[in-house]
Structure 1
Amino acid sequence: MSTAATSAPAAAPAAPAAPSYRLRAALAYAMAAIVIGLTQGLAQNFVTTNVAQVAGDLGVTTTQATWLTVAFAAPRASMPILLIKIRAQYGLRRFAEIAIVIYLVVALGALTISDLRSALVMQFLAGMASAPLSSLAFMYMLEPLSPQWKMRLGLPVVMATVALGPSLARVISPALMADAGWNALHVMTLGMAAVSLALVYYLPLTSPPRQKVIAGLDLLSWALIAVGFGGLTVVFTMGAIYWWTAIPWLGWVLALSIAALTLAIVIELNRKTPLLDIRWLSTPAMLHLTVTLLIFRLILSEQSSGAPRMFQVLGVTQDQLVPIFTVISAGTVLGALALILFMTPRRVPQLHLVALALVAVGAWMDSHSTIDTRPAQMMLSQAMIAFAGSLFLAPAMMQGMISAIARGPNYILSFIVVFLSTQSLGGVMGSGLFLTFINHREALHVQLMREELTTADPLVLHEIAQRAAALAPQIADGAARRAQALSMIAQDATNQAYVMAYNDAYRLTALVAATALCLLILHLFRDWLAARLWPAAPPVAAPAEASAETSAAAAPAPDSEPAAPTPLPSR
């Protein structure tokens, strides 16, 4: 070997980066994750939280404008399944750059919306284009962290960032809509997409080796799953609005969804390398986790579909809701920060106990609402529920990831499908079922109140006389004053019936949360009793289990490949 070769600088080991430089790099990647996560969350919820205003801008009814939320949510439910394999086959760096460029183009195209038809097309494209952003947020948050902090720090923070979307959209929307209507929301989405594009190109992700993983049957299975998930989104979103039995096509869409998902399961059960491991997903442990995630997501619908709609019925404007949703956003963030201190695999049951207790108490507090209740009186209860959401979801995801990684990398995708489907479909199903329950109970309460409110009742006659007298300065005609007074009493009765229906829904939420809490306590007591009565010898597989937990902590993202060494910005 020549002297020049032996003394070449390239042969010398690279000097480790200074701690301050590595800290700056970690903060840069964390900020990129937060921006990308908020970009996706706000884009998804800007329309959902402003359906009435968007309907006015487009000149359509609120029911017609609700289809915009369906158009966005339908592809979001299934796209991550395919994107995981696309990322593995074509490279993480290329995936990130192309994904954010597509999203930017779609955000730019949204500025051309002129009617409902064009809005539906752009919302559908936006739902597809935004699907990679949540994955990118996870990867950017976990990329610079050491293995022991990926799950304990990165996972709670990034999940809180994604969960901030609904509440933060309600905080920001009123100021934007007041200035320029729906176009202001598109401009902000476009601006955040442009910032995300710059961050993705400036802060590259470390790409693992590419693998050819996409097979023809994968595309067929994904297409069937997309049809099934999309159909369920349509049915549970529009079922409570059109009413389930009033529109025949709702039944046909539901039947098509079930048939498509059934065919996908049949195909996957007969493949050597399935897209989803159905047999593992149907094991008792995974079924238990799936049901747990689904139930908790249904419970959290109390926050997204309960208080906002009740206040809308009571005449509270979007501007007046800003303080309570600011508090809800703060509760979500505080829950994530609390997890950094306490989240470990062994503490998952205890964290879930606290979360269920907070939801049960918060929902019970809300169940005492009246027509005079205003957002300030529900801030504490809603903050408790938001805090509980952070306490529950991140530990549940960590628990599922550990179980999947312990069996091998191929099981990670199956778990991700379970998690995403319970969150996306669970949110849609929870909102639809919650609204259905509200409508049913409201109709019942209205019927009961109409039976009580008759002109033969002296109290009712006295109330009519009082209101008619109060209207005398505005309405000269006595018959018109009496008719207006009757209309006001009927409206108050309707509002009271709605509030009573929401109280029933809050009590049901509290009951479900309390029941789940009791079942979890019984489950933990059974495990404790079994350990005391039949103590087992130290298991031989303990090192493997510890290794699985370490591997889970080293995973770069809950829907991506195993972690690569911590990179630094190359620019």
Structure 2
Amino acid sequence: MQYRYVEQPPDWEEHERPAMPGSPARLHHSLARRLAYVAVGLFVGLVGGLGNGLVTANLTAIQGQLGLTQVEAAWLPAAYVMVNVTANLLVFKSRQQLGLRVFAEWGLGIYAVLALAHVFVEGYTMSLVVRGVSGFAGATTTSLAVMYVMQGLPMARIPAALILAMNMSSVAVPLAWVLSPALVTINPWPHLYAFEAGLALLAFAAVVLLKLPKGMQIHVFEPLDLLTFALVAPAVALLCAVLAQGVNAWWLNAPWLAYALIASIVLFTLAGILEYSRRTPLIQLRWLLHPSTLMFMAGALLMRFMISEQNYGVIGLLRAMGLTSDQLQPLYGVILAGMLVGVVAGALTFSANTILPQILVSILLISIGGYLDLHSTSQSRPHDFFFSQFLVSCAAALFMGPLMMIGFKHAMSQGADHMITFIVLFSVTQSVGGLMGSALLGTIQQARAQVYTQAIAREMPATDALVNQRLAQTQASYSKLITDPVQRNAQSRAQLAQTVKREAAVLAFNDVFRVIGTMALSFLGWALYRALRLRFLAWLGGRRAARAVAEASF
């Protein structure tokens, strides 16, 4: 293929030539330098997710510090996702045309400067800006992590490099929860921002000191690329806004949610019409609408939705019981351990022959975890969820390898120009899929909680002797604090209503776990059907034909 070079590339040996424009050359490195590349890659990957993880872990406290409403606080993680997804539209071509070094240093440099400025300029607006820029940095650091780790590992271990690097941003989330209590205890809240700025500066220094080998720089940007970006970026932002605020504002009570969703659909439609008619589109719409690609997207979204059982289900239940971040720290330590086990196991065992077994094991672990959590009560505490959440986190990391490699090979089989579409598709299924999972599970939980609250209230009439006995006991406990009997009665009834609301919330979360477990078993049945079909194809046409089908879809 003929490229229009920005500058003539060096005269590489055949084994040194980059796999594609935008990738670094494969030069020979000493063992120490290879280890340094792996260390920098893993660290940069962690930094890309750790800043946002720290904000998510401490969102309630930040909300109190800045005096925000629940709706205002929800915009902070949403701003990260909005920018992260849309940045992936430009990241791949930016690497190809501007060069890896400029791409790396500018991406991390801007993030480091704004994170540092946030230490001195506090406030809600600045927090939103930094979260948005960290979303761009997250898109940058994920690519950088892959490039750096691939420099340190031999060609035969490229799949392991991808699995290790791509999982770092996910590992950063439980790590942020583990680190947060100590950071907050030692330093006041503004120093949490200083910690994020320090990480960004360290990552920036690392990529400046240990540079990637040069790659090919080619002319790839076209004027219509910017028009596509101008249509898709606000469309994604509006969709993320609807998903992030739907439960808080409630879907049918806020007309702006409908207007935002309509505007998002219109913008996506206009972008689709534009891309479909282009000779060299930014987004390969025909490939995106192919049945095998749609099947891949459905499987990835479904898996991401099921993993939301951990972030929204279990953690939401425990926070509804009044547990704080420091009390959740041991549980997140177990989640972190499970994720590390999944990453290592996936990297060591991954091959073309283990794609389906890893997928099946991941789904099975999630279904087991969902059903283990099914009988939670208001007395459940973090240690009751150690085993189930270890399984779910291990499954989440183990699934990443097959997900990446199936999509990567499927895109590359169509040509390098399909990589942007795959990167955006992967980002949408993981980032927007996470918002979608929380939104749908939150809707189920709140709707069911209302049903259970009404059901419990109907079974507790004011004339019931046990109800009156409970109210009398509560009033007696308040007798030393409240002398007015009318106020004591009102306080005891409010306490009883709070207890009813708590028990209804627990029952609703159990319904969420039931939905996740049932969905996982259904997904497992579908995956087993696919596995049996592949074995039948292998028996008919040989292993090569079956492997081709395995890599095309789930």
Pairwise CA distance, 1:94:
1.7
Give secondary structure in 2 for the equivalent of 1:139: helix
Would you say the 8 A contact 2:346–2:398 is kept in 1? yes
For the pair 1:58 / 2:81, whether they are aligned, the reply is no
Give secondary structure in 2 for the equivalent of 1:204: coil
Distance 1:21 1:88 in 2: 23
Aligned residue in 1 for 2:427: 420
Give the TM-score, by structure 1 length. Answer: 0.88
Range 220-229 or range 474-483, more displaced: 474-483
Pairwise CA distance, 1:417:
1.7
Would you say the 8 A contact 1:33–1:137 is kept in 2? yes
For the pair 1:443 / 2:443, whether they are aligned, the reply is no
Range 389-398 or range 118-127, more displaced: 118-127
Would you say the 8 A contact 2:347–2:401 is kept in 1? no
For the pair 1:41 / 2:49, whether they are aligned, the reply is yes
Would you say the 8 A contact 2:449–2:504 is kept in 1? yes
Would you say the 8 A contact 2:36–2:152 is kept in 1? no
Distance 1:399 1:63 in 2: 38
Q: CA 1:342 to 1:123, structure 2 compared with 1: closer, same or farther past 3 Å?
A: closer
Aligned residue in 1 for 2:21: none
Distance 2:537 2:100 in 1: 46
For the pair 1:203 / 2:217, whether they are aligned, the reply is no
For the pair 1:75 / 2:83, whether they are aligned, the reply is yes
Pairwise CA distance, 1:321:
0.4
Aligned residue in 2 for 1:384: 391
The letter of the residue matching 2:506 is: V
- Cα deviation 1:289-332 (Å, max 9, x = unaligned): 11100110111111111222211110111110000001101100
1:387-402 superposed matches below 5 A: 387-402=394-409
Structure 1 unaligned residues grouped into runs of 5+:
1-12, 14-19, 550-571
Distance 1:217 1:536 in 2: 44
Aligned residue in 2 for 1:177: 184
Give secondary structure in 1 for the equivalent of 2:166: helix
Pairwise CA distance, 1:172:
1.4
- Cα deviation 1:485-532 (Å, max 9, x = unaligned): 222221111111111111100110011111000011112222323444
The letter of the residue matching 1:229 is: V
Q: CA 1:342 to 1:487, structure 2 compared with 1: closer, same or farther past 3 Å?
A: same
Aligned residue in 1 for 2:295: 288
For the pair 1:349 / 2:356, whether they are aligned, the reply is yes
For the pair 1:363 / 2:363, whether they are aligned, the reply is no
Pairwise CA distance, 1:475:
3.5
The letter of the residue matching 2:342 is: G
Give secondary structure in 1 for the equivalent of 2:283: coil
Distance 1:472 1:203 in 2: 69
Q: CA 1:70 to 1:310, structure 2 compared with 1: closer, same or farther past 3 Å?
A: same
Would you say the 8 A contact 1:345–1:398 is kept in 2? no
Q: CA 1:527 to 1:191, structure 2 compared with 1: closer, same or farther past 3 Å?
A: same
Aligned residue in 2 for 1:502: 509
Distance 2:306 2:297 in 1: 14
For the pair 1:118 / 2:126, whether they are aligned, the reply is yes
Aligned residue in 1 for 2:412: 405
Pairwise CA distance, 1:259:
1.1
Distance 1:115 1:97 in 2: 27
The letter of the residue matching 1:219 is: L
Would you say the 8 A contact 1:356–1:517 is kept in 2? yes
Pairwise CA distance, 1:432:
1.2
The letter of the residue matching 2:390 is: A
Would you say the 8 A contact 2:342–2:394 is kept in 1? yes
Would you say the 8 A contact 1:106–1:129 is kept in 2? no
Q: CA 1:21 to 1:404, structure 2 compared with 1: closer, same or farther past 3 Å?
A: closer
- Cα deviation 1:105-161 (Å, max 9, x = unaligned): 11112123333233323333333344312211121111222111010x212222221
Would you say the 8 A contact 2:225–2:282 is kept in 1? yes
Q: CA 1:359 to 1:232, structure 2 compared with 1: closer, same or farther past 3 Å?
A: same
Q: CA 1:410 to 1:21, structure 2 compared with 1: closer, same or farther past 3 Å?
A: closer
The letter of the residue matching 2:329 is: V
Pairwise CA distance, 1:43:
1.2
Distance 2:543 2:335 in 1: 45
Corresponding residue to 1:162 among 165, 169, 179: 169
For the pair 1:323 / 2:299, whether they are aligned, the reply is no
Aligned residue in 1 for 2:482: 475
Pairwise CA distance, 1:465:
2.2
Aligned residue in 1 for 2:23: none
Q: CA 1:113 to 1:311, structure 2 compared with 1: closer, same or farther past 3 Å?
A: farther
Give the TM-score, by structure 2 length. Answer: 0.90
Q: CA 1:404 to 1:129, structure 2 compared with 1: closer, same or farther past 3 Å?
A: closer
Distance 2:229 2:482 in 1: 64
The letter of the residue matching 1:391 is: L
Aligned residue in 2 for 1:298: 305
Range 22-31 or range 355-364, more displaced: 22-31
Aligned residue in 1 for 2:470: 463
For the pair 1:128 / 2:136, whether they are aligned, the reply is yes
The letter of the residue matching 2:479 is: A
Would you say the 8 A contact 1:57–1:181 is kept in 2? no
Would you say the 8 A contact 2:364–2:521 is kept in 1? yes
Aligned residue in 1 for 2:341: 334
Range 491-500 or range 153-162, more displaced: 153-162
Structure 2 unaligned residues grouped into runs of 5+:
1-12, 14-27
The structure with the largest alpha-carbon Rg is 1
Q: Report how many aligned residue pairs link the two structures.
A: 525
Corresponding residue to 1:187 among 190, 194, 212: 194
Distance 2:487 2:71 in 1: 33
Pairwise CA distance, 1:180:
3.6
Pairwise CA distance, 1:537:
7.0
Give secondary structure in 2 for the equivalent of 1:388: helix
Q: CA 1:537 to 1:452, structure 2 compared with 1: closer, same or farther past 3 Å?
A: closer
- Cα deviation 1:427-485 (Å, max 9, x = unaligned): 11111111111111111111111111222112212222222233334334444333322
Pairwise CA distance, 1:538:
8.5
Distance 1:256 1:518 in 2: 37
Q: CA RMSD in A?
A: 2.2
Give secondary structure in 1 for the equivalent of 2:80: helix
Q: CA 1:274 to 1:56, structure 2 compared with 1: closer, same or farther past 3 Å?
A: same
Aligned residue in 1 for 2:321: 314
Corresponding residue to 1:88 among 66, 75, 96: 96
Distance 1:117 1:191 in 2: 21
Would you say the 8 A contact 2:88–2:420 is kept in 1? no
Corresponding residue to 1:144 among 139, 148, 152: 152
Q: CA 1:348 to 1:263, structure 2 compared with 1: closer, same or farther past 3 Å?
A: same
Which segments of structure 1 move beyond 6 Å, counting only runs of 4 or more? none
- Cα deviation 1:517-562 (Å, max 9, x = unaligned): 0011112222323444xx23797x999x79xx9xxxxxxxxxxxxx
Q: CA 1:117 to 1:96, structure 2 compared with 1: closer, same or farther past 3 Å?
A: closer
For the pair 1:30 / 2:38, whether they are aligned, the reply is yes
Pairwise CA distance, 1:411:
1.9
The letter of the residue matching 2:258 is: G
Distance 2:133 2:165 in 1: 24
Distance 2:395 2:156 in 1: 24
Distance 1:451 1:503 in 2: 21
Would you say the 8 A contact 2:304–2:433 is kept in 1? yes
Corresponding residue to 2:541 among 529, 536, 539: 536
Give secondary structure in 2 for the equivalent of 1:475: coil
For the pair 1:434 / 2:441, whether they are aligned, the reply is yes
The letter of the residue matching 1:133 is: T
Range 412-421 or range 460-469, more displaced: 460-469
Distance 1:503 1:428 in 2: 20
Would you say the 8 A contact 1:51–1:62 is kept in 2? no
Aligned residue in 1 for 2:259: 252
The letter of the residue matching 1:442 is: A
